[in-house]
Structure formats: structure tokens, C-alpha cells
Amino acid sequence: MRYNRVLIILPSYPGSFFSSSSYLDAGVGYVSESLNVAGIDNVVFDMSLYPDRDKLMSQIQKFNPDLIGITMRSLNFKRHYALVAEIRQRFPHIHIVAGGPHISTFREKALHSCPELDYGVVLEGEQTIVELCKDTLPLSEIWGLIYRNRKSDGGIAYNGDRPFCHDLDFLPLPTYSRFELSRYKCSIPIVSSRGCPFQCIFCPVKKTIGHQYRARNPVLVAEEVEWWYQKGYREFDFTDDNFTLIPNRVYQFCDEIARRNLKHTIFSCGNGIRADKVDRYLLTKMKQSGFYQLSFGVEAGNNQILKNIKKGETIEEIEHAIATACELGFLVRLTFLLGSPGETWKDIQDSIKVALKYPVWKFNFFNLIPFPGTELYDWITTNNYWVVDQEEYLNEIDHWTNKPAFETPELSCEKRIQAYELTHKLMITHWEKSDRNARRLVLHKRLEMKGLPTTAARFLSGMRYNDLMPAIDKRLPWFSRGLRTVTYPIRKMIS
């Protein structure tokens, strides 16, 4: 073995969705499981669970790895470079490898910018990291590996892209045995496909996952769900970029869930599905099989802007899917972009109209970030529309901050700031109204999972999210201690 013990670091992302400590990382789960199968000892340290650097350093000292891996996204990447430098200073004898979207995007440049890194893993890393650890191949023959060529005065070498894994069914499925599983949200992420064949100009996914769509056998996906079901888990989130791209796969999966009698399982598609790849029949089947939450990437409120960003959908298709999903009782989340090429203030008003038109659970308006390697990035550069430093902007702004990266003749920097302020006020107001119903529905499902009859689950969830139970709870101190003792199990169950 070149490396026997690997510690994998999941950095935290303050202020973003990824700052939540309640979500398992399926990508790192696949890498960790591949190391398990290869007989390589490993542990995952999630810094969203333990943001204290001292805790990380103590874990490194305790586990004593000979290789440290860190996964990186491009937003705030310099914070992660600084973390790597700190680890190198404290543990100069341990080699460090980085992977994730940032390395797949920046490649050799990442190792030039962060001299403390020994290796980079590009694209899908399961096989590359195992070959790096096993020492069965010289570094120069490991596809997908960036490394420092010590024979050429510290030069950086890249062996070329490893072909994408076309048969995902042969990958070892994540068991998260090296994670602190009990500290995460009880929802298990499921990856049933990889790749995106569409051409959206803003999306960096094709740089990191690839254009070619590759799908797992839906029967084996159902087996994965059943494996977790037998361990007591009932909530699953499909993290695919295109879960419904092939409707027949979804029908087969739903049939398998019914055949296996996996009662009270609930599924979500939080990463989003395409509106033009669902219809009433498919959505009805999904609803009957336990799917309760869907996200649609709307991006814009009219066909001209959708055409500009090469979304490949019409607003009519999108609105039809939203209306159908809402009618069938799904919790529907919509996402929009602010400031796409050609977008005017009137176009933003069109997006707002779509967001407010349907009884959706949530909608989000995101600051549009041009990632390197995307058509959007090249378009902005060609037209000199940047209003920030191209070398620094990924460390200064993100989707959740009101600081534009660029402006266009149709929408100035000042107008973009105003649009963000307006839409986020609308978002917050809407969330406050809609979140109660969403929480009630989820609690209802969870109570059913605990074995409560549907009527009882509906009653208790309705109490919890109609202000009745909190009001009772506040008055209970005026009554006897015995009454509080009797009602405690109910209050605990619905808290």
C-alpha cells in the first residue's frame, strides 16, 4: 500500500445551504465506501458538525493517517486552501489530496495556487483514490490524478481524464459507516443517476459530472432503499440532476417499492427535476409511492430568457408541471436566477408572477454566479461585463449574497441589488406563511412511521402546527405536575 489510513475532510460552508450539519454527502460516501471495499482504513471528519479547527487537528493526531483527503467546492475556496496550509504546517509528514467540483474545474491551477496540496483527483474519484492508495500503478499511470512530479523540479503533471463510470451498478453503495451517522438528518441521500445532457449556460455540472447520462438499474435502487429500510430509515432524498429523465425508470422504481411493501417510506427530489420530463401520470405514480417533495428549476419567468440561457424548456411546460404537482398535493419548491443574459426588470417581474401564482411550498431567487468553464463565464468575459475581480470573486460572493458578479446593458449592478432585495423580502414573507403546512405534512408522515394510525397522526400534527399545543404547553404549569407528566410523551413526540 502507498497509503493505509485516509482521513477525509468535509469543509463547512458558512452562510450557505451546505453549512447545515444535517445532510450526508453522498459523493464522499461513495469514496469512503470504495476505500472500505479496498481494505483501506478511513474516517470522515465533517467540519459542519465540528467547526472548531482544534477538534480537527486532534482527530488527525488521534487517527494518525498517512493521507488526508479534502473535498472542495469553488465558492470560498481560499478558506479551504488556508485549511490545507494549516494542516501541512501542523503535520508536514502527511500527504494531502483534494477532490470535488473545485479540483475538476480548476485542475492543475489548484495545485499551483495551493502548494501544500500533493495531489488532485479530477471528476469521479472512487477508482482514482483507490489506485493512489494501493500503489499497484505508478503515479504517472493513474487516470484522473494530478500530482507533483518530483523528478522535474516540482512540476505538476496531469495524467488525463479517467473515463466516466458507465455502469454505476458496480460501484459500492455508501453505508456511511465512517460517518457519525446518528448526528445527521434522518434522510438518506440516494444517487440513482449521474450526468446531464442539457446545455444550460450557467451550470457547472457538465464540468464535474459530464454530459453523458448514466443511470442505475431501478430494481437495485429499490434494493438500496430496502437495505436502509431494514435499518429503520424511512426518509430518502434523490440527489440526481435528472431523476425523471427516463420516466420508465421511475415507474419501475415505484413498482418495486410497492412490491417490497416498504410502508411509510417518503421520498423527495430536493435537487430538482425538469418540468418537461414529468406528466400527470408520472407525478401521480410518484405521489402514490411516497414522493412528497419536488423542486423545479424554473430559472426565469418567460420564454425569451429561458431561450437565452438554453434551458430547453418553455414556460408553458414549466407552469403546467408546477400546477399539476401542486394539485396532487406535493410540497413544491421553485428556484429562479437573477440577472441572466438579456433579463430586464420586467422579466424579473415575470419570474415573480410565476413564483406567486401557485400554492408552492417555497421559492428561491439566487444571485447568478458565473462559474469558470461555463458558457455564461465566457460570455461575460468576452463582453467585459465583470464588476468584480475575476481572480477573487468566488471568495467574495455566492448565490446567497446581494453582490452581483457582473452587469449587463439590460440590468445594471444597482438594479440587480434592488431585484435581490425585492425577491428576498417576498421569499421570507412566503416562507413564513407556507412553512407551517409543510412542517405539518412532514410530521404527519413521521408519526405514521412510528406506527400511529393515520387519523391520530393527522390530529397530532395538526395540533402541533396550529398553535394549539404550544398554547396548552404554556398553561400546563398552572395545572398539576401529574398532568404535565401524563402529557409529556405526547409533547415530546410532536416536538
- CATH code of the domain covering residue 191: 3.20.20.70
Domain end marker among 398, 415, 437: 437
Q: Which residues pair with 70 in a beta bridge?
A: 9, 98
Domain end marker among 421, 437, 453: 437
Question: Would you say 411 and 344 are in contact if contact means Cβ atoms under 8 Å apart?
Answer: yes
- Residue 484 within a domain: yes
Question: Would you say 11 and 72 are in contact if contact means Cβ atoms under 8 Å apart?
Answer: yes
Please calculate the CA angle 188-190-191 and round it to the nearest 5 degrees.
155
Domain end marker among 420, 437, 454: 437
First and final CA of the chain: distance in angstroms? 50
404 with 453, same domain: the answer is: no
- Residue 12 within a domain: yes
* pLDDT computed for residue 160 by the predictor: 92
Euclidean distance between CA atoms 339 and 410, whole angstroms: 9
- Residue 260 within a domain: yes
- Residue 379 within a domain: yes
402 with 460, same domain: the answer is: no
* pLDDT computed for residue 434 by the predictor: 62
354 with 460, same domain: the answer is: no
* pLDDT computed for residue 460 by the predictor: 74
Parts of the chain with a pLDDT under 50? 16-20, 467-495
116 with 193, same domain: the answer is: no
Question: Would you say 321 and 278 are in contact if contact means Cβ atoms under 8 Å apart?
Answer: yes
483 with 379, same domain: the answer is: no
- Residue 180 within a domain: no
337 with 244, same domain: the answer is: yes
What total number of domains does the chain contain?
3
Structural domain harbouring 469 = 442-493
* pLDDT computed for residue 191 by the predictor: 95
425 with 458, same domain: the answer is: no
* pLDDT computed for residue 212 by the predictor: 87
428 with 397, same domain: the answer is: yes
428 with 452, same domain: the answer is: no
- Select from 228, 199, 124 the least CA-distant residue to 167: 124
332 with 377, same domain: the answer is: yes
The dihedrals phi and psi of 147, each to the nearest 5 degrees, come to -150, 165
The domain that contains 17 carries what CATH number?
3.40.50.280
Please calculate the CA angle 299-304-308 and round it to the nearest 5 degrees.
70
- Residue 392 within a domain: yes
Query: How many CB atoms neighbour CB 61 within 10 A?
Result: 11
- Residue 328 within a domain: yes
Which amino acid, residue 344? Answer: T
430 with 471, same domain: the answer is: no
- Residue 111 within a domain: yes
312 with 348, same domain: the answer is: yes
